[in-house]
Amino acid sequence: MIRLSHRSPKTKVRESKIHGRGLFATADIAKDEIVAVKGGHIVDRKTLREKITPRLGPVEIQIDDDLFIAPVTEEERELSMLYSNHSCDANLGIRGEITFVAIRDIRAGEELTHDWAMTDDDDYSVECKCGVPSCRKTVTGKTGNARNCRSAMRVISQLIWRAKSRCRYGS
**Over the stretch 73-93, which tens digit does the pLDDT of each residue have?**
999 999 999 999 999 999 999
Give the number of other Cβ atoms within 10 Å of residue 76's Cβ: 21
Among the residue ranges 66-70, 112-116, 165-169, the one predicted with the least confidence is 165-169
Check: CB of residue 101 under 8 Å from CB of residue 160. Answer: no
pTM of the full structure = 0.81
Give me the amino acid identity at 11.
T
Give me the amino acid identity at 14.
R
Most confident of 4-13, 119-128, 152-161: 4-13
For 162, phi and psi rounded to 5 degrees? -65, -45
- pLDDT surpassing 70 at residue 51: yes
pLDDT of residue 170: 56
For 21, phi and psi rounded to 5 degrees? -100, 150
Cα 144 to chain centroid distance, Å, stands at: 18
Give the number of other Cβ atoms within 10 Å of residue 89's Cβ: 12
What's the start-to-end Cα distance of the chain, in Å? 39
SS3 6: strand
Give whole-number Cα distances, 98 to 10, 20, 130, 171, in Å: 18, 22, 22, 24
